[in-house]
Amino acid sequence: ANFSEQVVESFPSDISTGIYYGWACVGNGDVHKMVLSIGWNPFYKNIKKSVETHIIHTFNDDFYGEILSIVIIGYIRSEENFSSVEALISAIEEDIEEAKRQLDLPEHLKLKEDNFFHLPGGKPVNH
């Protein structure tokens, strides 16, 4: 789930590029673990900064046009280039496993229930 260019430009400029973990919610659906990439994705030679959210959940349908709410909890690693797609995929898989481990800690689990994720008047999203 990628944020629009407008949203990316509104992110605080002092957030370092890299890979983060946290919680994500689509609309008023369930809150799921997520991994977030902030940066230029050097492997793909992006010229614009992007913020890409990988929600650790399989959705039944796409959710284009829905509101994506995220809470960034921690930092995994810096942004880097990779020698191959396979190396990139391997790093992403390791990032996901690290996010799962970190988000299972009690101090991180409690943030999953934060009122931030409940949109007033929002409708549940198909999960």
pLDDT one-digit tens code per residue, 11-36: 888 889 999 999 999 988 899 999 99
- What is the pTM (predicted TM-score) of this model? 0.86
Alpha helix positions (H), the chain: 5-10, 85-103, 106-109
CATH number of 5-117: 2.40.30.30
Q: Give catalytic status of residue 86 as yes or no.
A: no
Annotated active-site residue in 5, 9, 52, 97: 52
pLDDT for 118 beyond 80: no
Alpha helix positions (H), 20-126: 85-103, 106-109
Instruction: Write the pLDDT tens digit of every residue in 48-88.
Output: 888 999 999 998 888 888 889 999 999 999 988 888 889 98
Q: So where are the chain's domains?
A: 5-117
